[in-house]
């Protein structure tokens, strides 16, 4: 399993130097990776079907509980096969779809990276490892959604998607760490043994809130759903892959995986059922008003995700089996419809369904794919969607009380709306009269219509022969969520019962909607009038308000003046130190066992005071540099007086070097300018005095504390024996804390390079003038 994830990561890196050679027919070779991985995961089907889970463990950072722990069971196998199977078709489809694109190699690199990240998410047993891959999916999807980076709308959509999913990921990280800390392990399989402890803990509600935030943002649940329709600015292969079978189902996968750990309580059930129900009805309603093919599919995808969250929230064996079936049903028909929409756009130049009709006459194989996918989405008998829809109704009917009526009605209404949306996307463009300007449209490359046709045909094959995937994939997936055997084999026919009646009602309602509700620009405008109340608008307003505050904050505190930065830092330090002094107990103003003051110390102190006065009053830069150097050398003398010659030598070297550098830099700067007036000097004097007073008080408190010589004794005893150095300070800097020093040098080097670059730019600008 680790090999599968690493293969995707390595191949994505290899595309950088070698991807430019994948042009023309050679681009098809990019699909070898997902095809090979699909075959690899398919080889585990017999073991999973027999009830044997596969586990892989490799220590990584064991001290922090972070290990390469991978676990393959029915649920992760289902997702792995979807990721690699549909990924294989998308890789093949992208070769002719993006033929001649100058960034095709970059596209395949991003797609491979995303596939590897998704595999990492669904295979990880360690929640910290899962989070790392979770964030990697957000980053790689950011690159894919914004692939057309010369388009402002694409760039904006990718930023919104990254902002929403990244923010949710941050909260999810807190939830996962909290779960691991409380359960004593970051392994999901080990958390199963402490699930009752977690559910009864006082922080259980907080854990759910954080986990829900991560899952809802990733799987576009209300009110965070708006990023997914906006992400349709991505190329169609990206939409088909990310938004039908993979990324948007990551949140659903997380909820399904944590169902046995956190589920089974009212706090788990009611929020998921409520949010899932609102999302699926709201988005299904919006889907029938859209006129853009990808927009219709985007909103219907959000509705399908809401349906899955809704089913996981119910949490019964019937609902979890329905969820596992619907995951596969939706992936098959939605990927097919997305790929079909991509071909229509590719050949006609438009996705507007008010302008598309009669395309069956020129794109017959594609029309068959669209028809079969639409029928599966509608849940017509002999399609896989029919079985999935029946199981959804079985799940809602097995609830109790008023919930049975409410949830069943909600499911029927949503499915009817989704039927209409599926017909709009899969059937409407191919029916009616072919416009004259589309008469030149021709059947494209076989991979472009072959991929959606294959997926649509599978939806019919699995509908007619559900036993092909029942025991091998779907039942093990449901058992992984339920953590117990589910003896409910999929059947073509369950007899005449209430479920069949509800299916008939759904078909009738959806078909009537399709024939009597015609999408148009006017109807879309009527629904857009209420955008001011939409979550997207509200969150957008909050974002704009935050931006205004940020601009004011930046212009006030980050205005480009170093003296303002220093003032802010010092004032903040004064407040923090003062708060600590006030809350830290009685403040002592005397020092016990203070050594007598020698005359030479008084002389050095007087020189220090004189140097400070000259520094703040001088009008010459050179005078200021000399005065500050005197300050440094006086401090060196104090180190010598108090038996720290090694520290004094280090300070002397640094001060000397600093003075030289100051003189060299100041030599190039313009004459001394006075930016301060009397008020500014008084303000700075008060701030400096307050800071000095605070530091003096802190020093007095520290000197009155018991002295622990253990650390200094260690360095003194081991400086020579371990590091072969007699200067303890130098040994600490270059040996004991050598890594810190190295990074400090790196930071200073980068800063120096930046300064030199700015000076060169200034000199060039001066020369041009």
| Of 733 and 34, the one with more pLDDT | 34
CA distances to 560, 742, 757 from 749, rounded to whole Å, are 22, 10, 12
Which residues, 6+ apart, have CB-to-CB distance to 197 below 8 Å?
182, 183
Pair of tokens at residue 445 = 């490359």
* Burial class, 696, CB count within 10 angstroms (exposed 0-12 / middle 13-18 / buried 19+): exposed
Categorize the per-residue pLDDT at 21 as very low, low, confident or very high, splitting at 50, 70 and 90. Answer: low
pLDDT per position as a tens digit, 741-768: 888 889 889 988 888 888 787 777 666 6
Please compute the mean of the pLDDT values over residues 314-336 and round it to a whole number. 93
Phi-psi region of 725 (alpha: psi -120 to 50; beta: other; left: phi over 0): beta
Pair of tokens at residue 490 = 């999929």
Give yes or no for residue 243 having a pLDDT over 80.
Answer: no
Closest CA to 395 of 297, 277, 257, 260: 277
Lowest mean pLDDT among 196-210, 397-411, 428-442, 446-460: 428-442
* Residue percentage of the chain with pLDDT more than 90: 44
How far from the centroid of its chain's Cα atoms is residue 2's Cα?
21
**What is the average pLDDT value for the chain, to the nearest integer?**
87
* Burial class, 690, CB count within 10 angstroms (exposed 0-12 / middle 13-18 / buried 19+): middle
| Of 230 and 726, the one with more pLDDT | 230
Q: Cα separation of 415 and 508, whole Å? A: 11
pLDDT per position as a tens digit, 493-532: 777 889 999 999 999 999 999 998 888 777 777 777 776 6
Q: Cα separation of 219 and 116, whole Å? A: 19
Closest CA to 373 of 293, 489, 290: 293
Categorize the per-residue pLDDT at 556 as very low, low, confident or very high, splitting at 50, 70 and 90. Answer: confident
pLDDT per position as a tens digit, 107-140: 888 999 999 999 999 999 999 999 999 999 999 9
Residue pair 7/37 in contact (Cβ under 8 Å)? The answer is yes
pTM (two decimals): 0.80
| Of 195 and 677, the one with more pLDDT | 195
pLDDT per position as a tens digit, 61-107: 787 778 888 999 999 999 999 999 999 999 999 888 888 788 888 88
Pair of tokens at residue 728 = 């303890």
Categorize the per-residue pLDDT at 653 as very low, low, confident or very high, splitting at 50, 70 and 90. Answer: confident
Q: Residue 383: what pLDDT?
A: 93
Closest CA to 56 of 204, 223, 189: 189
Place of tokens 């046709």: 453
Interior CA angle at 67 toward 62 and 69, to 5°? 145
Q: Residue 46: what pLDDT?
A: 93
Q: Which helix (H) or strand (E) holds 60?
A: strand 54-61
Closest CA to 66 of 57, 53, 78: 57
Give yes or no for residue 622 having a pLDDT over 90.
Answer: no
Residue pair 116/8 in contact (Cβ under 8 Å)? The answer is yes
Interior CA angle at 97 toward 93 and 103, to 5°? 110
Residue pair 330/284 in contact (Cβ under 8 Å)? The answer is no
Q: Residue 670: what pLDDT?
A: 67
Cis link prior to 752 (omega < 30° from 0)?
A: no
Based on C-alpha coordinates, what's the Rg of the chain? 34
Residue 353 phi/psi, 5° resolution? -70, -15
Please compute the mean of the pLDDT values over residues 712-728 and round it to a whole number. 80
Pair of tokens at residue 329 = 């049903």
Please compute the mean of the pLDDT values over residues 350-367 and round it to a whole number. 90
Please compute the mean of the pLDDT values over residues 528-557 and round it to a whole number. 81
Q: Residue 23: what pLDDT?
A: 67
CA distances to 131, 147, 282, 287 from 291, rounded to whole Å, are 37, 24, 17, 9
How far from the centroid of its chain's Cα atoms is residue 602's Cα?
61
Lowest mean pLDDT among 118-127, 372-381, 590-599: 590-599
**DSSP assignments along 505-557, one per residue:** HHHHHHHHHHHH----HHHHHHHHGGGGGSHHHHHHHHHHHHHHHHHHHHHHH
Categorize the per-residue pLDDT at 706 as very low, low, confident or very high, splitting at 50, 70 and 90. Answer: confident
Q: Residue 450: what pLDDT?
A: 92
* Residue percentage of the chain with pLDDT more than 70: 96
Residue pair 107/22 in contact (Cβ under 8 Å)? The answer is no
DSSP-based three-state secondary structure for 607: helix
């Amino acid at each position: 399993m680790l090999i599968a994830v690493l293969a995707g990561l390595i191949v994505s890196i290899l595309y950088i130097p070698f991807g430019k050679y994948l042009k023309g027919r050679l681009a098809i070779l990019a699909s070898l990776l997902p095809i090979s991985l699909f075959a690899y995961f398919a080889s585990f089907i017999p073991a999973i079907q027999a009830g044997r889970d596969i586990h892989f463990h490799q220590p990584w950072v064991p001290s922090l509980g972070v290990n390469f722990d991978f676990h393959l069971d029915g649920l992760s196998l289902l997702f792995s096969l979807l990721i690699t199977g549909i990924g294989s078709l998308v890789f093949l489809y992208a070769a002719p779809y993006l033929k001649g694109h100058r960034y095709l190699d970059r596209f395949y690199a991003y797609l491979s990276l995303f596939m590897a990240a998704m595999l990492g998410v669904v295979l990880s047993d360690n929640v910290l490892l899962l989070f790392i891959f979770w964030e990697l999916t957000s980053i790689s999807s950011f690159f894919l959604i914004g692939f057309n980076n010369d388009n402002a709308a694409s760039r904006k959509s990718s930023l919104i998607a990254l902002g929403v999913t990244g923010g949710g990921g941050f909260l999810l990280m807190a939830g996962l760490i909290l779960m691991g800390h409380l359960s004593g392990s970051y392994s999901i399989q080990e958390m199963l043994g402490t699930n009752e402890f977690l559910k009864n803990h006082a922080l259980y509600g907080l854990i759910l809130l954080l986990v829900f935030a991560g899952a809802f943002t990733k799987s576009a649940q209300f009110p965070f759903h708006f990023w997914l329709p906006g992400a349709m600015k991505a190329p169609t292969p990206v939409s088909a892959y990310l938004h039908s079978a993979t990324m948007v189902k990551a949140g659903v996968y997380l909820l399904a995986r944590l169902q046995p750990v956190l589920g089974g309580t009212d706090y788990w059930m009611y929020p998921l059922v409520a949010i899932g129900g609102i999302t699926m009805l709201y988005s299904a309603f919006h889907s029938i008003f859209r006129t853009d093919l990808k927009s219709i599919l985007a909103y219907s995808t959000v509705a399908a995700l809401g349906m899955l969250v809704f089913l996981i929230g119910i949490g019964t064996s019937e609902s979890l089996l329905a969820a596992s079936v619907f995951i596969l049903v939706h992936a098959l028909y939605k990927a097919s419809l997305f790929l079909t929409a991509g071909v229509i756009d590719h050949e006609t130049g438009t996705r507007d369904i008010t302008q598309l009709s009669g395309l069956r006459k020129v794109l017959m194989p594609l029309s068959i794919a669209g028809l079969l996918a639409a029928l599966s989405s509608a849940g017509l008998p002999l399609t896989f969607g029919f079985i999935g829809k029946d199981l959804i109704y079985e799940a809602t009917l097995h609830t109790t009380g008023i919930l049975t009526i409410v949830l069943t009605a909600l499911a029927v209404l949503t499915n009817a709306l989704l039927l209409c949306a599926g017909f709009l996307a899969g059937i409407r463009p191919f029916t009616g009269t072919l416009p004259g300007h589309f008469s030149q449209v021709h059947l494209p490359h076989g991979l472009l219509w072959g991929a959606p046709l294959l997926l649509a045909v599978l939806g019919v094959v699995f509908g007619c022969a559900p036993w092909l995937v029942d025991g091998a994939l779907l039942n093990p997936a449901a058992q992984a969520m339920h953590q117990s055997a589910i003896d409910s084999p999929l059947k073509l026919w369950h007899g005449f019962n209430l479920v069949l009646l509800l299916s008939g009602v759904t078909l009738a309602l959806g078909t009537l909607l399709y024939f009597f509700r015609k999408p148009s620009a006017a109807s879309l405008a009527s629904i857009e009038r209420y955008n001011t109340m939409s979550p997207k608008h509200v969150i957008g307003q909050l974002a704009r308000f935050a931006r205004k505050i940020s601009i004011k904050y930046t212009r006030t505190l980050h205005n480009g003046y170093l003296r303002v930065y220093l003032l802010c830092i010092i004032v903040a330090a004064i407040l923090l130190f003062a708060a600590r002094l006030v809350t830290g107990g009685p403040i002592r103003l005397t020092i016990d066992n203070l050594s007598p003051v020698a005359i030479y110390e008084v002389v050095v102190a007087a020189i220090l005071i004189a140097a400070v006065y000259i520094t703040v009053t001088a009008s010459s830069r050179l005078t200021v540099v000399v005065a500050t150097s005197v300050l440094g050398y006086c401090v060196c003398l104090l180190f010598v007086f108090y038996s720290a010659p090694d520290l004094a030598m280090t300070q002397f070297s640094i001060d000397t070097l600093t003075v030289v550098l100051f003189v060299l830099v100041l030599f190039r700067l313009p004459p001394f300018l006075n930016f301060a007036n009397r008020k500014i000097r008084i303000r700075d004097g008060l701030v400096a005095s307050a800071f000095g007073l605070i530091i003096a008080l802190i020093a007095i408190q520290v000197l009155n504390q018991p002295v622990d010589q253990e650390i200094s004794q260690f360095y003194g005893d081991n400086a020579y024996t371990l590091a072969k150095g007699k200067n303890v300070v130098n040994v600490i800097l270059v040996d004991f804390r050598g890594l810190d020093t190295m990074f400090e040098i790196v930071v200073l080097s980068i800063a120096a390079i930046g300064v030199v670059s700015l000076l060169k730019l200034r000199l060039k600008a001066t020369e041009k003038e």
